[in-house]
Amino acid sequence: MDFDELAKVGSMMGSGGMIVMDEDDCMVDVARYFLTFLTEESCGKCIPCREGIRQMLTILNRICEGEGKEGDIVMLEELSEVVQDASLCALGTTAPNPVLSTIRYFKDEYEAHIRESRCPAGVCKALVSYYINPEQCQACQICLRECPVGAIMGGKNIVHVIDQDKCTKCGTCLDVCPIRFAAVEKLSGRPVPAAPPQGTKVRRVKKAQQ
Amino acid sequence: MRLKSPADLQEKRQQIISLRDSSRHCVTICSGTACHAYASEKTALAFVEEIKSSGLKDNVDIRRTGCHGFCERGPIVVIFPEEICYLGVKPEDVSEIVSTTLMGKGLVDRLLYKDSNGEKVVHEGDIPFYKNQTRIVFGNNRLIDPKNIDDYIALGGYDALTKALFEMSPDDVMEMVKRANLRGRGGGGFPAGMKWETTRNAPGKTKYVIVNADEGDPGAYMDRSLLEGNPHSVLEGLIIGAYAIGSHKGYVYVRQEYPLAIENLSIALNQAGEYGLLGKNILGSRFNFDVTVHRGAGAFVSGESSALMNAIEGKVGEPRPKYTRTAVSGIGDKPSNLNNVETWANVPLIISRGADWFASIGTEGSKGTKIFSPDRWTVGRVHT
Amino acid sequence: MTKNLSNVNQIIAKYQGDQSALIQMLLEIQRENRWLPKPVLARLSQKLGIPISQIYHIATFYKAFSLIPQGRHTVSVCLGTACHVRGAPRLLDRVTDTLKLNPGETSVDYKFTLKTVNCLGCCALGPVMVVDGEYYGKPSAKEIEKVIANCD
C-alpha cells in the first residue's frame, strides 16, 4: 500500500484513515454519507464545490429514497468531472472520489436501487421493510415489548405481525429476535407478504429443529 | 533547569536513567482518548490505590502512556520489564493483577490476548495486531508518559535536534530530508524536502513553519494519537525543520475537538521551554525558535493549507487561489511551510538514523512507514 | 451582562489585543458563556478595531460558535465514517427520542443542547456519544436514558 498504487485503483493514501466494510454496508449510502459531510463542510467560496456537491447529494438522496431514475449515474459522473476540475481546493477536487469509486466498483448496487428499488445491503430505510415470518415466530413477545413505537401486534401463542404503517424501520425487532427463532427478516425489492389472519396461533417448532 | 549545551542534555539523560531501575516493575496504562473513554483513568487510580495498600509503592512504578493503537481492546495495561500485556482491564481486575502478577509472578489468563486458535499471547509485541507492523513513528507511545519530557529524553529524545544544530548546517539537514524522500503524510504526498526548499528560498527574512493537526477526515485519528501520546517527537521535528528553513516562529494548528492533544502539547511546549529546548538560544546554539498553539473552531475546510493560514491570521478559514503557493506567500504573506503531524514526527528519525535508512523502508515511490487509523485493523463489522 | 463584558476585557488583555488571535478569543468567550452574546461581540469589535461584520463572518463560519444560548449540558453524537457504519444513525435516533430534540436544538429550559460531530477520533468505541466531555461507546437505550437523567 503506497501513494501511487492506491491512486492507480482510484483511491488515495489521504491522511491514512482506513475503514473496512462488508456486504451489510450500502455503497450508495456510503457515497451519500460522504457527500452529506462535504456539503456541510464546503466553505461555499467556489461554485463548482458549493453547488456541484449539493446537486450530487440531491441525486444520491433520491436514489436512496427509491426515486432514482435512468441517467442518474451518468449525471453523477458528469457533475463529478466538473467538480474535480474546477474547484478551488482539495475539498472540492476530491469530493467526487467516493461517488466515482463506488460507481466504478459497485455499479450493481446503484442499478439495483434505481431499477429494482432494492437496497442489496438492506440499509436504505425507504427501500427496506421488516417482516416477521409466521412459520418461524414463536410468540416470545420480546420484539413486541421492545418495539419503540408499538408497531407489533400479537400475544402469547399468537403470531406477531408488524404494522407496516407504524413501523419506523429502526431494526430493534431484528436485533432482539432470539437467534434460535430468526423470525424477523429484512426485505428489500419485493412486497411484504400479506399478514396471516389475526389471532393465528404459532406453529411450535421442536427444540431439536431450532 | 535550563540545558545550555549538548553536554547538558547528555548529563540530564544520564541523570534520568540513573534514577530509574529497569528491573523494577512498571505498570503502564494506556491513556489515549479511546482508552480514556473506556475509563482507563479509573483503572490507573485503582492501580495506585492497590499498589499502595499492598505495600508495593516503593517497588513498583506506574506510568500513564500514550495510545498503544489497539483501541478496540482497551484499556490496555503492559507490565514491564516482562512486557506482559493485559487487555480490557477494568478497575475490578486490578487487585487480581497486583496479587497474581506483581506479587505472585503469575498471569491472569482471562485478560491475555487469545489468537484464532485460542492460544494465549503474553507479550504485547507477539500479538498479531502488532507483530506485523514496523512502528518506527508510533512505537514509543507505549513507553512514555506524554506529560513528562524526561521519558522522551531517556529514550534519546532531542539527540536528533542536537545533531542538526551542532553537527549539520541547515543545507545538510535539507539535503538529508530530500534524499530520504519523505512525502507529506497529510494527504497530498508532496515531497517535504522540496516544500522546505521552496520556503527557504522564497524572498524575505521572516518565515513560518506550521504543524497541521486539524485532522478532520472522518475516521482518521493518527495525528490525535501521535500528538496526545508523543508530542515531543513532533516538536523536535518542527524545530529541526525550522532550523533548515530559517524560521524562528512555528504554529501548531490543532482542532478544538482534541482537548487531550491540546493539553499534552501545551505541557510539552512548557517543559521544552523550561529545559531550553525551545525559545532563545536553544541548547546554546544561538538558534531561536518559538511555537504558538492555535485551536481550530470546527471547520473541516480549515485543514486545507491556505485556509489554515487564513485561520491563523484570525480570519475565516477559506482557501486561497492556488496561483500563489503558501510556501512563498503564507501567513501574513510571508513564506510558510506547512506539514502534517506525522510528517514532522518522521524528521528526527531521518536525522538520527540517516536518509539511507529511511529510504530502505517502503516502496520505490513511497519511503518510510504510514500510520493508518485504524492501524488498528478494522472498524465496522467484518464477517469472518 | 456586566460580568460578560469584564470577562471580555480580560480575554482581550490575555491575547494583548492581537487581532490574529480573534478566533482564540471567541473560543474562550464561547466556553465561558456557552454562546456569543451580541454586546460581547460589539465590545470585541470596538476594542480590537475589527468591523463587527467581520466578527459575525467568523462566528457564523465556524461550528464551535453559537449566536444563541446553549444548554448547560452538551450531548454530542459522532457521525464519523466509522461510527456511521457501526450504527451512529440509530444511536442518534435514540438520543433524539430521549432528549426530544433534533441536532442543533437546545431545550426550552436551556438544560441540553444536542449536536452532531464528525469524528472524535475514538472510532474503535463507535458509535460514540459524548456528554459534557465524557465519552460513551456503544451506549444502549437504557444507558442513554440513565446518563441523561443523571445530568442536573
DSSP output for B38-76: TTHHHHHHHHHHHHHHTT-TTTEEEEEE---S-GGGPSP
pLDDT at B214 over 90: yes
Q: Are B231 and B145 in contact (CB under 8 A)?
A: no
Write out chain B residues lying below 8 Å of C118, CB-based: 216, 218, 300
A181 to chain C, minimum CA–CA distance in Å? 23
User: At B154, is the pLDDT very low, low, confident or very high (cuts 50, 70, 90)?
Assistant: very high
- With CA atoms as reference, the chain C residue closest to A31 would be C81
Contact C23 B74 (CB under 8 A): no
Q: What are chain C's partners, defined as 3 or more CB pairs within 8 angstroms?
A: A, B
- With CA atoms as reference, the chain A residue closest to C93 would be A170
Q: Are C77 and C92 in contact (CB under 8 A)?
A: yes
A20 to chain C, minimum CA–CA distance in Å? 9
Contact C24 B72 (CB under 8 A): no
Cell numbers 451512529 correspond to: C88
Distance of CA B361 to the CA centre of its chain: 20
Contacts of B258 (CB under 8 A, 6+ apart): B33, B213, B215, B224, B227, B228, C121
Q: Where are the domains of chain B?
A: 22-131, 146-359
Name the DSSP class of B101. Answer: I
User: Which tens digits make up the pLDDT trace of B343-353?
Assistant: 999 999 999 99
pLDDT value, residue A148: 85
Q: Does A75 touch chain B (CB under 8 A)?
A: no
B187 to chain A, minimum CA–CA distance in Å? 4
pLDDT value, residue B383: 21
pTM to 2 decimals?
0.89
What CATH number is given to the structural domain containing A25?
1.20.1440.230
Residue A24 lies in a domain: yes
Write out chain A residues lying below 8 Å of B373, CB-based: 16-18
Give the dihedral of Cα atoms B219, B181, B138, B129; nearest 10 deg. 70
> Quick one: which of A44, A17, A24 has its CA closest to A98?
A17
Mean pLDDT of A169-173: 90
Q: Is B181 left (phi over 0), alpha (psi -120 to 50) or beta?
A: left
* Residue B325: other Cβ atoms inside 10 A: 17
Cell numbers 516503593 correspond to: B58
pLDDT value, residue B39: 87
Q: For residue B153, how many C-alpha atoms fall within 13 Å in the half-sphere facing its CB? A: 24
- Evaluate whether the domain defined by C73-149 bears CATH number 3.40.50.150: no
Q: Is A70 found in the same domain as A7?
A: yes
Give the cell for residue B306: 491556505
Residue B188's alpha-carbon distances to A163, B27, B327, in angstroms, are 52, 40, 14
pLDDT value, residue B376: 32
B382 to chain A, minimum CA–CA distance in Å? 6
Q: Does A16 touch chain C (CB under 8 A)?
A: no
User: Which tens digits make up the pLDDT trace of C115-125?
Assistant: 998 877 778 78
User: Which tens digits make up the pLDDT trace of B295-316?
Assistant: 999 899 999 999 999 999 999 9
Give the cell for residue B233: 517527537
Domains identified in chain A, total number: 2
| A·C CB contacts under 8 A | 18
Distance between CA atoms of residues C61 and A101, nearest Å: 30
Residue A56 lies in a domain: yes
Give the cell for residue B214: 486539524
Q: Where are the domains of chain C?
A: 2-61, 73-149
Q: Does A34 touch chain C (CB under 8 A)?
A: yes
User: At B22, is the pLDDT very low, low, confident or very high (cuts 50, 70, 90)?
Assistant: confident
Closest CB to B314 among C19, C61, C79: C19
Q: Which spans in chain C are helix H?
A: 2-14, 22-33, 38-48, 52-61, 81-85, 88-99, 141-149
User: Which tens digits make up the pLDDT trace of C27-86?
Assistant: 999 998 899 999 999 999 999 999 999 999 999 999 999 999 999 999 999 998 888 888
3-state SS assignment for residue B25: strand
Residue B99's alpha-carbon distances to B40, B51, B104, in angstroms, are 20, 9, 6
Q: What are chain A's partners, defined as 3 or more CB pairs within 8 angstroms?
A: B, C
Distance between CA atoms of residues B26 and A202, nearest Å: 61
User: At B217, is the pLDDT very low, low, confident or very high (cuts 50, 70, 90)?
Assistant: confident
Q: Are A113 and A72 in contact (CB under 8 A)?
A: no
Mean pLDDT of B271-291: 97
φ, ψ for residue B289, nearest 5 deg: -160, 135
Q: Is A76 found in the same domain as A24?
A: yes
Residue A100 lies in a domain: yes
The amino acid at residue B188 is G
Q: Is A111 found in the same domain as A9?
A: yes
Name the DSSP class of B378. Answer: -
Q: Does A87 touch chain B (CB under 8 A)?
A: no
Enumerate the β-bridge partners of residue C128: C137
pLDDT value, residue B374: 55
A201 to chain C, minimum CA–CA distance in Å? 31
User: Which tens digits make up the pLDDT trace of A65-104?
Assistant: 999 999 999 999 999 999 999 999 999 999 999 999 999 9
Q: Using CB atoms and an 8 Å cut-off, which of residues 18-57 of chain C contact chain B?
A: 18-24, 26-27, 57
- With CA atoms as reference, the chain C residue closest to A26 would be C85
Domain range spanning residue A80? 3-116
Among A9-18, A184-193, B328-337, whose mean pLDDT is lowest?
A9-18
What CATH number is given to the structural domain containing A135?
3.30.70.20
pLDDT at B375 over 60: no
pLDDT at B381 over 50: no
Q: Is A137 found in the same domain as A105?
A: no
Q: Tell me the average pLDDT of chain A.
A: 91
pLDDT value, residue B220: 79
> Quick one: which of B371, B354, B289 has its CA closest to B66?
B371
Mean pLDDT of B242-261: 95
pLDDT at B379 over 60: no
Directed axis angle between helix B222-229 and helix B231-245, to 10°? 100
User: Which tens digits make up the pLDDT trace of A128-143?
Assistant: 999 999 999 999 999 9
Write out chain C residues lying below 8 Å of B311, CB-based: 23
User: Which tens digits make up the pLDDT trace of A143-163?
Assistant: 999 998 899 999 999 999 999
Write out chain B residues lying below 8 Å of A42, CB-based: 301
Q: Are A128 and A187 in contact (CB under 8 A)?
A: yes
DSSP output for chain A: --HHHHHHTT---TT-B-----TTS-HHHHHHHHHHHHHHH--S-SHHHHHHHHHHHHHHHHHHTT---TTHHHHHHHHHHHHHHH-SSHHHHHTTHHHHHHHHHHHHHHHHHHHH---TTS--GGGEEEEE-TTT-----HHHHH-TT--EEEETTEEEEE-TTT-----HHHHHS-TTT--EEEEESSPPPPPPPTTPBP----GGG-
pLDDT at B76 over 90: yes
Closest CB to B189 among A3, A18, A24: A3
> Quick one: which of B52, B61, B58, B55 has its CA closest to B29?
B61
Contact A13 B217 (CB under 8 A): no
- With CA atoms as reference, the chain A residue closest to C117 would be A37
pLDDT value, residue B195: 96
Share of chain C above pLDDT 90, in %: 65
pLDDT value, residue B382: 23
Contacts of B27 (CB under 8 A, 6+ apart): B47, B51, B60, B61, B62, B63, B77, B79, B102
Contact B220 A16 (CB under 8 A): yes
Residue A198 lies in a domain: no
**Helix, strand and coil in chain C, % to nearest 5:** 50, 15, 35
Write out chain C residues lying below 8 Å of B381, CB-based: 85-86
* Residue B381: other Cβ atoms inside 10 A: 15
Last residue of a domain, one of A71, A96, A116: A116
Last residue of a domain, one of A116, A146, A174: A116
3-state SS assignment for residue B384: coil
User: At B93, is the pLDDT very low, low, confident or very high (cuts 50, 70, 90)?
Assistant: very high
Contact C84 A33 (CB under 8 A): yes
Q: For residue A199, how many C-alpha atoms fall within 13 Å in the half-sphere facing its CB? A: 0
User: Which tens digits make up the pLDDT trace of A107-124?
Assistant: 999 999 999 999 999 999
Vertex C128 angle, CA C126 and C134, to 5°: 135
Give which of A1, A15, A40, A91 to mutate to test B binding, by max B Cβ within 10 Å.
A15
Mean pLDDT of B332-341: 96
Write out chain C residues lying below 8 Å of A41, CB-based: 118
User: At C15, is the pLDDT very low, low, confident or very high (cuts 50, 70, 90)?
Assistant: very high
Residue A77 lies in a domain: yes
pLDDT value, residue C3: 60
Share of chain A above pLDDT 70, in %: 97
Q: Does B384 touch chain A (CB under 8 A)?
A: no
Contact C90 A34 (CB under 8 A): no
Residue A31 lies in a domain: yes
Q: Tell me the average pLDDT of chain B.
A: 91
* Residue A175: other Cβ atoms inside 10 A: 13
User: At A207, is the pLDDT very low, low, confident or very high (cuts 50, 70, 90)?
Assistant: low
pLDDT value, residue B380: 30
DSSP output for A136-185: T-----HHHHH-TT--EEEETTEEEEE-TTT-----HHHHHS-TTT--EE
B312 to chain C, minimum CA–CA distance in Å? 7
The amino acid at residue B366 is S
Superfamily of domain B146-359: NADH-ubiquinone oxidoreductase 51kDa subunit (3.40.50.11540)
Q: Does A91 touch chain B (CB under 8 A)?
A: yes
Q: Does A41 touch chain B (CB under 8 A)?
A: yes
Q: Tell me the average pLDDT of chain C.
A: 90
Q: Where are the beta strands (DSSP E) in chain B?
A: 25-30, 60-65, 77-80, 84-86, 113-114, 120-121, 208-213, 249-254, 290-295, 336-340
Predicted ipTM > 0.95:
no
* Residue B116: other Cβ atoms inside 10 A: 7
Among A144-158, A186-200, B130-144, C97-111, whose mean pLDDT is lowest?
B130-144
pLDDT value, residue B36: 85
- Evaluate whether the domain defined by B22-131 bears CATH number 3.40.50.620: no
Contact B300 A22 (CB under 8 A): no
Contact A34 C81 (CB under 8 A): yes
pLDDT at B165 over 60: yes
